[in-house]
Amino acid sequence: MSTPISPRSRRRVLLPVARTATSLFVVGAVAAAGCVGAVGATATPVAHAASTSVPAAGLSVAATVTIDGTQYPNPLRLLDGTGVTDVARWEGTRRAELLTAFRENVYGQPLPRPTKQTADVQTTEDGDVVSKKVTIGITGPEGTGSFPLRLFVPKGQTPRGTFLMIDHRGSVSDDPGQSSDYAPVSTITKAGYAFAQIDANDIAPDDSGSYRSKMINLFHPSGSDLPDDAGRAVAAWAWGASRAMDYLQTDKDIDPSKIAVIGHSRSGKAALWAGAQDPRFAAVISNNSGSTGAKLARRGDGGVGAETVSRVNSSFPYWFPKTYQAYGDKVDELPVDQHELMGLVAPRRLVIASASDDSNADPEGEFLAYEAASEIYDLYGLGDNGLGTTGWKPATDTAFSGPAMSYHLRSGGHGLKAADWNIYLKGDLFTQASPR
């Protein structure tokens, strides 16, 4: 027996967001209080009223839920078979179970926190923008390296929020006046937001022969094979976003409580994984991320020739660990699926963007995962995903938004376009909704 997934509706309550910042930045071997694992600070558990849509605590619940006629793992079922009925049980037990399962079976174990981390900041002013080039120094047990972070801040104001892009294209320069569909820096700053960028290739080159050469080999001996469950390039990119976040938390010119991680395509996979692990990100934006991003794994090719688990691992064997590659032709045996990954972002803002003609990413599979993630948000009283009774296929070029979940289906093909950014900049993504 399985539990069907259905949309939820909840009222919206807004909370003020406090601003804090520090100017000193040195991270040592001991993580800051409240940090978890290798990535970032954990959210403070808060007792909230339980959703009435899930079984009472202690009762055994179905192992699966039904999504579009197919059985998927039930995100609200503990490993011992009992139901998750409230935030305390989700944050105290189930969230950790899912993170462990994703690390062991999908993305791999993340790199640990550096034994030492530093930031060297070079600041320039150009018209209405303050530009900063931050060299983030990383020391691990096998050596020392660094990668740059670019930050563009509108002058004379606290930004409405900051977009941190994981950029696998290497398309952002030091010029604050640059603009493109993919990274419209000047448009973003003129809208009152800050924009930050890390180049994925400075963290783990997008290449099978050299992906370890930057950050990974600072933590693993270069002459030895990586453990089968060690994260590869995508996990390293996500880790890099959290190391950039370490610095952004200290920059006095931005609000550290209003930072979103954003990625497109392969970087969209990394952005989701970064946001799932690191609760310091106020919003997580995954644009056209497809397989092992927003798309449900058990959808296969979705009937549209979409990229599958088998194909992504065959085409890019250095993106994910060997433990994940073992599921190529048996995705039904995966203990998790991507609706649960999205749920790990709760109660923070989840933003999923698809494109109508992007068959390789299976936009319907991304849509269905987004719908199913509502069940986790519902624990917080935030299960309204903005879609109402809208099923597939929703209207294109329309923003659907609830108190903590946002979705749109852009017309056209694969890409991060001006139309996507227009929705992000107008989407009020940094207003925090109050969990019930």
Neighbour tally for 26: CB within 10 Å = 10
Tokens at 190, concatenated: 């003129």
Tokens at 228, concatenated: 């089968």
- Report d(CA 161, CA 258) in Å as an integer: 5
Within 13 A of 435's CA, how many CA atoms are on the CB side? Answer: 21
The alpha carbon of 198 is separated from its chain's Cα centroid by a whole number of angstroms, namely: 15
3-state class (DSSP) for residue 361: helix
3-state class (DSSP) for residue 89: helix
Considering only CA atoms, which of 414, 407, 406, 412 is closest in space to residue 433? 406
Active-site annotation holder among 131, 186, 242, 265: 265
Tally DSSP H helices, then E strands, for the chain: 10, 16
- Report d(CA 275, CA 260) in Å as an integer: 9
Neighbour tally for 418: CB within 10 Å = 13
* 115 Cβ neighbours under 8 A, 6+ residues apart: 28, 29, 139, 140, 141
Task: Report cis status (omega within 30 of 0) of the bond before 393.
Answer: yes
- Report d(CA 248, CA 265) in Å as an integer: 24
Q: Is 265 a catalytic residue?
A: yes
Query: Can you name the residues that pair with 35 across neighbouring β-strands?
Result: 41
Active-site annotation holder among 48, 168, 220, 414: 414
Q: Is 168 a catalytic residue?
A: no
Considering only CA atoms, which of 244, 151, 156 is closest in space to residue 192? 156
Let me know: does 290 contact 307? Beta carbons within 8 Å: yes
- Report d(CA 103, CA 290) in Å as an integer: 19
Residue that is written with structure tokens 């009223």 in the block: 49
Residue that is written with structure tokens 């070079």 in the block: 122
Side by side, the strands of the sheet bearing 2-4 are 2-4, 64-67, 70-73
Query: Would you list the DSSP string of 251-284?
Result: -TTS-TTSEEEEEETHHHHHHHHHHHH-TT-SEE
3-state class (DSSP) for residue 93: helix
> Which residues are tagged catalytic?
265, 414
